Amino acid sequence: MDTALQAFDLTKKLEGANTGSWLSCNGDILVSVSPIDGRTIGRIRTATANDYEKVAKQAVKAFKVWRMIPAPQRGDIVRQIGDALRHNKQNLGRLVSLNVGKILSEGEGEVQEMIDIADFAVGQSRMLYGLSMHSERPRHRMYEQWHPLGPVGVITAFNFPVAVWSWNAMIALIAGNTVIWKPSHKAALCALAVTKIASEVLDRNNLPQGILNLVIGNRKQVGNPLVNDSRVPLISATGSVNMGKAINQAVAARLGKTILELGGNNAIIVTPHADLTLAIRSIVFGAVGTAGQRCTTTRRIIAHKAIYADLQQALIKAYQQVPIGNPLEDGILMGPLIDTEAVDNMMAALAEIGSQGGKILYGGEKLSGGIFETGTYVQPCICEVPPDCAIVREETFAPILYLIPYEELDEAIAIHNGVPQGLSSAIFSNNLKEVETFLSHLGSDCGIANVNVGTSGAEIGGAFGGEKDTGGGREAGSDSWKAYMRRQTNTINWSDEMPLAQGVRFEFD
């Protein structure tokens, strides 16, 4: 048995719901299989709608207590969760690798992202600032304050199975909310381990049950009850555009709030003024890292004709050197895709490319033999495509990189923005005018726009999210905390008069 499974006691029969203690669940058994070697790594009894109901009730009850604990004290609990994550960084990072197939360094990097957002949230717990205003009426004071919302639903995807929960949960906690987490069933073991780590901290501090909650179950039993639950004022969801649209409609129907972080179709523009060595390093990490399964993965390179051929050659050379294999082994840079369905989707996209006027320049083969017999390993792929190719508008969650040539920067920006998604973007250039154009209102339409920095691997200090089909939500740093609270405007009259605003007169005896 792997040490990471032992560390979190995941080898025994597991329950799919926790509300401070583990529920005895009533749903189907979920068999967790590692994409690395196809081995069964866990068995979980999933939650039913009844189990969800127990969790939701507890989350509502705990909110009444948690919201009244002063924010800096809530921050201290988050600090302790951050410390517990530091302590568990190696084991949890390894579990991420085992569960979803990331290389170890990326698995540990994800845990680091959790630690970073915990630190950020501790500071933020003393900075839940509201503005004060000058009233138009004499001896009146106006100000605004931020109150907690209630239980927050957090729906996460397989590809960042622990970090995305923490961006939401750490901020939601300091804001005074309780959290109901519905993780992807593809990454359920990671969610169980994180819940174990965090609930030990809550227990140690004698806090009531129901502050951090977990429900693993399918859409019918858990997903739908959660998004339709009017006791849950905010749903923060990461995943596909289709999933996000369905959630948005359900939550909007009850006038709830959402934070949506959906698909990306991220591009890098490489101009004739780029440092190509830097550009290539960033492109390969952005396109091949996490086997192309980040929402921030670099999917399109829009390269100027003057450097196009050189860039293409250098990329092919770099791709030839990417070691593919068991992500737990030293030196491997690319592990498997999450499952064979993801491989099938990649193969279907590659088949389309030919019929749409594109051609494969490198890779794209499904690998076989030895560990590759799982059917989850592929070669990363570089394709050349015309800018109007339909398949390029889609986010295929796999390591496919499209190369598109351009002549004028305006044209490059039009190609760049000509997709439905708007998450992350970058330009590689040392030319001030090109860079400023890209960052101006004329430029990138994405939530993230970088210069000489790739599209993936954002730091937690910034607000994370994007526009258009990406859903418009913002998580993690900057002032994203405001989405987890409700704003209240207060006017206080300390005079002996009762003047009305706007000079309205309403006198009576």
Interface pick for ligand UN1 out of 238, 374, 379, 429 (rule CB under 6 A)? 238
Residue with Cβ nearer ligand UN1 (213 or 456): 456
Per CB under 6 A, which region of 3-11, 191-199, 289-297, 356-364 contacts ligand UN1?
A: 289-297
| Residue 264 C-beta: closest distance to ligand UN1, Å | 8
Per CB under 6 A, which region of 10-18, 115-123, 292-300, 500-508 contacts ligand UN1?
A: 292-300
Helices vs. strands in the chain: H and E counts, helices first:
14, 23
Q: Cβ neighbours of residue 228 under 8 Å, at least 6 residues apart?
A: 250, 254
Site string for ligand UN1, 448-467 (x = CB under 6 A): --------xxx---------
Burial profile 250-285: b = 16 or more Cβ within 10 angstroms, e = fewer:
bbeeeebbbbbbbbbbbbbbbbebbebeebbebbbb
| Residue 468 C-beta: closest distance to ligand UN1, Å | 16
- What are 164's two structure tokens? 């995305």
Q: Does 161 sit near ligand UN1 (CB under 6 A)?
A: no
- What are 233's two structure tokens? 């004022």
- 171 and 121 Cβ atoms separated by less than 8 Å: yes
Q: Does 167 sit near ligand UN1 (CB under 6 A)?
A: no
Residue with Cβ nearer ligand UN1 (182 or 304): 182
- The position carrying tokens 């330009």 is 427
Residue with Cβ nearer ligand UN1 (164 or 427): 164
Residue with Cβ nearer ligand UN1 (44 or 295): 295
Per CB under 6 A, contacts with ligand UN1 among 55-114 are 113
Residue with Cβ nearer ligand UN1 (164 or 302): 164
Q: Cβ neighbours of residue 231 under 8 Å, at least 6 residues apart?
A: 56, 59, 60, 150, 151
Interface pick for ligand UN1 out of 296, 374, 421, 444 (rule CB under 6 A)? 296
Beta bridge mates, 467: 422
C-alpha separations of 8 from 2, 5, 211 in Å: 11, 6, 21
Per CB under 6 A, which region of 3-11, 31-39, 272-280, 293-301 contacts ligand UN1?
A: 293-301
| Residue 404 C-beta: closest distance to ligand UN1, Å | 22
| Residue 241 C-beta: closest distance to ligand UN1, Å | 13
- What are 166's two structure tokens? 């923490």
Per CB under 6 A, contacts with ligand UN1 among 395-414 are none
| Residue 53 C-beta: closest distance to ligand UN1, Å | 29
Residue with Cβ nearer ligand UN1 (153 or 471): 471
Cα 118 from chain centre: 15
Q: Does 164 sit near ligand UN1 (CB under 6 A)?
A: yes
Q: Does 294 sit near ligand UN1 (CB under 6 A)?
A: yes
Interface pick for ligand UN1 out of 159, 184, 195, 271 (rule CB under 6 A)? 159
| Residue 365 C-beta: closest distance to ligand UN1, Å | 25
Task: Give the three-state DSSP class for 451.
Answer: strand
Q: Does 295 sit near ligand UN1 (CB under 6 A)?
A: yes
Residue with Cβ nearer ligand UN1 (2 or 106): 106
Residue with Cβ nearer ligand UN1 (363 or 457): 457
Helix axes 71-87, 163-174, angle to 10 degrees: 160
Select from 260, 113, 327, 100 the least CA-distant residue to 191. 100
Instruction: Identify the burial level of 497 via C-beta atoms within 10 angstroms of its C-beta, where 0-12 means exposed, 13-18 middle and 19 or more buried.
Output: exposed
C-alpha separations of 167 from 202, 245, 396 in Å: 18, 21, 25
295 is catalytic: yes
The one-character DSSP state at 301 is E
| Residue 164 C-beta: closest distance to ligand UN1, Å | 6
Active-site choice (261, 395, 434, 475): 261
- How much of the chain is in helix, strand and coil states, percent to nearest 5? 40, 20, 35
Active-site choice (15, 25, 108, 295): 295
Q: Does 262 sit near ligand UN1 (CB under 6 A)?
A: no
- 132 and 184 Cβ atoms separated by less than 8 Å: no
Q: How far apart are CA 430 and CA 433, in angstroms?
A: 9
| Residue 375 C-beta: closest distance to ligand UN1, Å | 23
- 110 and 157 Cβ atoms separated by less than 8 Å: no
Q: Does 374 sit near ligand UN1 (CB under 6 A)?
A: no
Q: Cβ neighbours of residue 274 under 8 Å, at least 6 residues apart?
A: 307, 428, 429, 430, 452
| Residue 396 C-beta: closest distance to ligand UN1, Å | 15
| Residue 153 C-beta: closest distance to ligand UN1, Å | 17
Interface pick for ligand UN1 out of 66, 146, 160, 308 (rule CB under 6 A)? 160
How many residues in the shown chain lie near ligand UN1 by CB under 6 A? Answer: 11
Residue with Cβ nearer ligand UN1 (177 or 456): 456
Residue with Cβ nearer ligand UN1 (51 or 106): 106
- 255 and 299 Cβ atoms separated by less than 8 Å: no
- 269 and 438 Cβ atoms separated by less than 8 Å: yes
- Chain residue whose CB lies nearest ligand UN1: 458
Residue numbers of the site for ligand UN1 (CB under 6 A)?
113, 159-160, 164, 238, 294-296, 456-458
Active site residues: 261, 295
